[in-house]
Amino acid sequence: MEISQEKSVLVTADGTPLKISLARAQRRSKIVAFSMVLPLLIFILIAFLIPIADMLSLSVDNSITKEILPKSVIALQNWDETSGELPDEVVFAAMVEEIKKAKIARKHTRVGQRLNYESSGFSSLFRKAGRKVKIIKKPPYKEALIKSDKRWGQIYTWQVIKQFSTEYTDGYYLAALDFKRNPTTGKVESLPGKESIYLKLFWRTMLLSSLITFLTFIIGFPLAYMLATVSTRLSNILIIFVLLPFWTSLLVRTTSWIALLQQEGVINDFLVLVGIINNDGRLAMIHNATGTVVAMTHILLPFMILPLFSVMKTIPKSYVRAAVSLGAHPWKAFWKVYFPNTGPGIGAGSILVFIIAIGYYITPALVGGSSGTFISNRIAYHISSSLNWGLGSALGVILLGIVLALFMLYDRIVGIDNMKLG
Amino acid sequence: MKKFIRAMAATAVMVMVGFVGQAMATELVVVSWGGAYTASQQKAYHAPYMKLNPGITIINDDSAGSAVAKLRAMSQAGNVTWDLVDAVASDTMILCDEGIIEVIDHDRDLAPAPDGTPASKDFGGFIVSECFVPQIVYSTTFGYRKDLVSRPMSSICDIFDLKSFPGKRSLEKKPINNLEWALICDGVAPAKVYDVLGTSAGVDRALAKLDTIKSQVVWWTAGAQTPQLLADGEVIVGSTYNGRLFALIEEQKQPVAMLWDWQVFDLDGWVVPKGTKNKAEVMKFLRFATDTQRLADQAKFISYGPTRASSAPLVGKHATLGIEMAPHMPTDPNNAKTTLLFNYEFWADHRDDLDARFNAWLLK
């Protein structure tokens, strides 16, 4: 009786029950494992998640108007923008006082800049007001402000300020999808054709990226197949040729394509020399969509070949041999047996190439002309040139959304577990 | 063992000396555009200053192209690592508006002209923002291949004349300048250009004019592209910054000639980021680098005009080519018969709008 009880609780050498000891050891190894992942986790948090969260908040942030014109914004709430009359003296007084204050803090033009995104002219309106308000010392402020610039006497000006004084805005997203909120009515309207850019650019980016992905597959598949089937020594040498351009600077590769493809370039010269085209009919292969597709297919090719190669390496040669020995035509054996086995590699390569392609901007900027630029070129423009970070962020969030949606679609159809990177 | 200890001691001393040395020398990070332009600043400003002040080391950073965004990011992060930045005037106005750069008291912070004229008078109208220290006048203008056209080009409207001058032309992928030129060649009086461009119908008119040559345009985004396109014979005529064309014509001896008609003047100058750790040293350097002689010296190395009135008579010969620089300056009376000055106020208001219109037009 006693013996059996003792046996039922297993203990370690120092007397602690085995269960507790095991849990302790497991906890320790869990902590060790976690602490080893911790640096990576922190890195991802700082370098990836926080910037994305920041981008999300930038794309809806509109606190600037309220921050710099708090009293005016509150006073404007009592004004009926559809009444057809200007706001009352209280609003003008608050505006003059707040522009004076903002001028000292050098912030008055920031409101102007924000509102200028919605309606051209606000930038100069606020800059000018910053110069003029210091001479306005006593009421009536209304007449004085209107005297400094007649635009303050237009109802439209105040409608815009009121309309875009909320803490958060959907204005950047609307702009990113070629819509605009009418300041007078508050209704969302789509932009006329001569002003719409972004939907076309999103569509073009997807279309050209798909084409580039398809071309890398068409070129990469036979190449990967050859690499996987020749002797290891030869394939090691050939792999170098795949990787060599991969290690070369992106700019060098892009400019080499310019030298090759331009109208006075190597390829056109050759075609003229052998008489395929005449001198006046030189082909335009660069500074258009063709240039972007050619250069990017070349640049992204390794991203297709490497996953394909690593998957093909693992397919036993005996599969195809077995199929052929059972009477299948070599082509049928390849198509029915070998090709389906490369699926995970095709999936990984395609996703990789496509996602890199839709975010590319240096190559399209250099060789894309006007018909071969991507949405990322506009994002880069808004981040580094126009400084409209709100719109740049909104475009970025939409692009991120598209990538995630495609990723999920891929998971639904093919299954993400089926993807193999090597 | 003794040898080992001695070696260790020597290393320790060297490291310590190194640290002390580092603490004594001040490093100024000066951001500019790279290439021949930074080289001209290095020779005219940095090298002489470092010779006079052995404790100062000037480090060049070539990222002026993305300086506006980077300065804003640095300012938001509260970690300013740049001391002096070379920026175009329109960007300076944005940065000054946002409070990212220091306000300059031109008469106090900068040297007067040799005859005693205060700096604000010497620079005159070129001080377009209270944060801006003007350095050079440059222009966006055209160069054409002499051997590929039937007769010399002399008018800006030759750009729009496909009959007399068939072939590709390169233009900057921006509405700025192109819309102005289109309107002038569509018959708008140059003084009225910005009035017309301020209306939607005016923009339509400018774009309609550009439509007539759209199929023959190569759009550039970097200043080096047009010189390359001209050298390759890819285009017969193209716009770029005048200094790039000077290098193409005089240094690389390409068969290219200038078309100065309706060149657009713009300004480039220094700005001091708010929050720089070496403000006192930077201001001293700034005073030196923008005095009358130094601005004239820079013109020995690159064909951009000095912004001080007092520097103009001092502009001499190119340092290595030995040619007179004055006739190559955009401000030379022979070149500046018809000019536009970049309209900062107009573009601050309309840049976003017209940029959208222009890009939508490109997509059509």
What DSSP assignment string belongs to A24-51?
HHHHHHHHHHHHHHHHHHHHHIIIIIHH
Please tell me the predicted confidence (pLDDT) of residue B6. Answer: 60
CA distance from start to end of chain B: 80
Residues of A whose CB is below 8 A from B221 = 365-366
CB-based contact A55:A394 (threshold 8 Å): no
Supply the mean pLDDT for chain B.
90
In chain A, domain spans: 2-58, 64-190, 198-418
Q: HEC states along chain B?
A: CHHHHHHHHHHHHHHHHHHHHHHHCEEEEEECCCHHHHHHHHHHHHHHHHHHCCCEEEEEECCHHHHHHHHHHHHHHCCCCCCEEEEEHHHHHHHHHCCCECCCCHHHHCCCCCCCCCHHHHHHHHCCCCCCEEEEEEEEEEEEEHHHCCCCCCCHHHHHCCCCCCCCEEEECCCCCHHHHHHHHCCCCHHHHHHHHCCHHHHHHHHHHHHCCHHHEEEECCCCHHHHHHHHCCCCEEEEEHHHHHHHHHHCCCCEEEEEEEEEEEEEEEECECCCCCHHHHHHHHHHHCCHHHHHHHCCCCCCEECCHHHHHHCCECCCCCCECHHHCCCCCCCCCCEEECCHHHHHHHHHHHHHHHHHHHHC
Residue B106 contacts A, CB cutoff 8 Å: no
Residue (of A173, A176, A208, A197) closest to A358 by Cα position:
A208
By C-alpha distance, the chain A residue nearest B360 is A197
Report the gap between the CA of B70 and the closest CA in chain A (Å).
8
Q: Is the pLDDT of residue B7 over 80?
A: no
Please tell me the predicted confidence (pLDDT) of residue A281. Answer: 84
Distance CA B92, CA B228 (A): 29
Residues of A whose CB is below 8 A from B77 = none
CB-based contact B216:B205 (threshold 8 Å): no
Residue (of A376, A402, A405, A391) closest to A179 by Cα position:
A391
CA distance from start to end of chain A: 58
Q: Is the dihedral of CA B163, B167, B173, B178 positive or negative?
A: negative
Mutant choice from B178, B347, B352, B358 vs A, greatest count of A C-beta within 10 A:
B352
Helix (H) / strand (E) element for A166: namely: none
Residue (of A138, A187, A115, A53) closest to B348 by Cα position:
A115
Residue of B69, B234, B350 with shortest CB distance to A387: B69
Residue of A120, A122, A195 with shortest CB distance to B360: A195
Residue B66 contacts A, CB cutoff 8 Å: yes
Q: Angle at Cα A56 formed by Cα A51 and Cα A62, nearest 5°?
A: 120
By C-alpha distance, the chain A residue nearest B70 is A384
Rg over CA atoms, chain A: 32
Helix (H) / strand (E) element for A119: namely: none
Residue B61 pairs in a beta bridge with B31
Residues of A whose CB is below 8 A from B99 = 105-107
Q: What are the CA-CA distances from residue B132 to residues A333, B34, B81, B89 (Å)?
A: 73, 20, 19, 7
Report the gap between the CA of A287 and the closest CA in chain B (Å).
7
ipTM score of complex: 0.81
Helix (H) / strand (E) element for A252: namely: helix A250-261
Q: Is the pLDDT of residue B151 over 90?
A: yes
Q: Is the pLDDT of residue B95 over 70?
A: yes
Residues of B whose CB is below 8 A from A195 = 356-357, 360
Residue B139 pairs in a beta bridge with B265
Residues 143-162 on B with a CB inside 8 Å of A are none
A123 and B348 within 8 Å at the Cβ level: the answer is: yes
CATH architecture of A198-418: Orthogonal Bundle (1.10)
Residue B219 contacts A, CB cutoff 8 Å: yes
Mutant choice from A124, A125, A197 vs B, greatest count of B C-beta within 10 A:
A197
Phi, psi dihedral angles at B237 (to 5 degrees): -155, 145
Report the gap between the CA of A113 and the closest CA in chain B (Å).
8
pLDDT in tens, B27-73: 999 999 988 899 999 999 999 999 999 999 999 999 888 888 899 88
Q: Which residues contact A249 (CB under 8 A, 6 or more apart)?
A: none
By C-alpha distance, the chain B residue nearest A124 is B349
Please tell me what DSSP assigns to residue A105.
T
By C-alpha distance, the chain A residue nearest B69 is A384
Distance CA B82, CA A143 (A): 45
Report the gap between the CA of B295 and the closest CA in chain A (Å).
28
Residue (of A156, A173, A147) closest to A61 by Cα position:
A173
Please tell me the predicted confidence (pLDDT) of residue A269. Answer: 92
Report the gap between the CA of B44 and the closest CA in chain A (Å).
29
Q: Hey, what's the torsion of the CAs at A271, A276, A279, A281, to 10 degrees?
A: -110
> Higher model confidence: residue B103 or residue B12?
B103
Please tell me what DSSP assigns to residue A315.
S
> Higher model confidence: residue A37 or residue B5?
A37
Please give the full DSSP string across A170-222, using - where no structure is assigned. SHHHHHHTTEEE-TTT--EEEPPTTT--HHHHHHHHHHHHHHHHHHHHHHHHH
A120 and B221 within 8 Å at the Cβ level: the answer is: no
Tokens in use for A387? Answer: 């400084």
Residue of A193, A366, A388 with shortest CB distance to B352: A388
B221 and A193 within 8 Å at the Cβ level: the answer is: no
- Inter-chain contacts counted by CB atoms under 8 A, chains A and B: 81
Tokens in use for B345? Answer: 């106020």
Residues of A whose CB is below 8 A from B345 = 124, 127
CB-based contact B137:B305 (threshold 8 Å): yes
A384 and B68 within 8 Å at the Cβ level: the answer is: yes
Residue (of A96, A95, A126, A145) closest to B93 by Cα position:
A126
B359 and A124 within 8 Å at the Cβ level: the answer is: no
Neighbours of A88 (CB within 10 A): 12
Please tell me the predicted confidence (pLDDT) of residue A1. Answer: 45
Alpha carbons within 13 A on the beta-carbon side of A201: 29
Neighbours of B215 (CB within 10 A): 9
Residue B73 contacts A, CB cutoff 8 Å: no
Distance CA A412, CA A416 (A): 8
Residue of A124, A194, A287 with shortest CB distance to B218: A287
CB-based contact A123:A113 (threshold 8 Å): yes
Residues of B whose CB is below 8 A from A388 = 352
Helix (H) / strand (E) element for A13: namely: none
- Mean pLDDT over residues B117-130, rounded? 91
CB-based contact B89:B132 (threshold 8 Å): yes
Please tell me the predicted confidence (pLDDT) of residue B246. Answer: 93
Residue of B69, B204, B361 with shortest CB distance to A384: B69
CB-based contact B141:B337 (threshold 8 Å): no
Q: Is the pLDDT of residue B21 over 90?
A: no
Which residue numbers of A have CB closer than 8 Å to B's CBs? 105-107, 109-110, 113, 116-117, 120-124, 127, 193-197, 200-201, 262-265, 287, 365-366, 369-370, 378, 381, 383-388
Alpha helices in A262-338 (DSSP H): 266-273, 289-313, 317-325, 330-333
Residue of A105, A120, A264 with shortest CB distance to B233: A264
Neighbours of B14 (CB within 10 A): 10
Instruction: Report residue B9's pLDDT band, with 50, 70 and 90 as the boundaries.
Output: low
Residue B317 pairs in a beta bridge with B324
Mutant choice from B130, B363, B364 vs A, greatest count of A C-beta within 10 A:
B363
CB-based contact B292:B273 (threshold 8 Å): no
Distance CA A134, CA B208 (A): 44
What chain B holds in terms of domains, given with CATH numbers, is 2-131+272-328 (3.40.190.10), 141-266+339-363 (3.40.190.10)
pLDDT in tens, B239-272: 999 999 999 999 999 999 999 999 999 999 999 9
Please tell me what DSSP assigns to residue A302.
H
Q: Is the pLDDT of residue B14 over 80?
A: no
Distance CA A374, CA A358 (A): 7
Neighbours of B200 (CB within 10 A): 12
Mutant choice from A149, A264, A375 vs B, greatest count of B C-beta within 10 A:
A264
pLDDT in tens, B197-213: 999 999 999 999 999 99
Helix (H) / strand (E) element for A417: namely: none
Q: Which residues contact A146 (CB under 8 A, 6 or more apart)?
A: A152, A153
Residues of A whose CB is below 8 A from B356 = 195, 197
Please tell me the predicted confidence (pLDDT) of residue A81. Answer: 83
Q: Is the pLDDT of residue B24 over 70?
A: no
- Mean pLDDT over residues B96-116, rounded? 92
Please tell me the predicted confidence (pLDDT) of residue A10. Answer: 79
Q: Which residues contact A196 (CB under 8 A, 6 or more apart)?
A: A178, A190, B360
Residue of A201, A264, A383 with shortest CB distance to B69: A383
Distance CA A83, CA A242 (A): 70
Residue of A107, A121, A195 with shortest CB distance to B99: A107
Mutant choice from B173, B178, B220, B236 vs A, greatest count of A C-beta within 10 A:
B173
Residues 222-261 on B with a CB inside 8 Å of A are 222, 232-234
Residues 15-54 on B with a CB inside 8 Å of A are none
Please tell me the predicted confidence (pLDDT) of residue B20. Answer: 47
Please tell me the predicted confidence (pLDDT) of residue B222. Answer: 83
Burial class (CB in 10 A: 0-12, 13-18, 19+), A406: middle
Residue segments in chain A with a per-residue pLDDT below the cut of 70: 1-8, 418-422
Q: Which residues contact A21 (CB under 8 A, 6 or more apart)?
A: A12
Alpha carbons within 13 A on the beta-carbon side of B26: 18
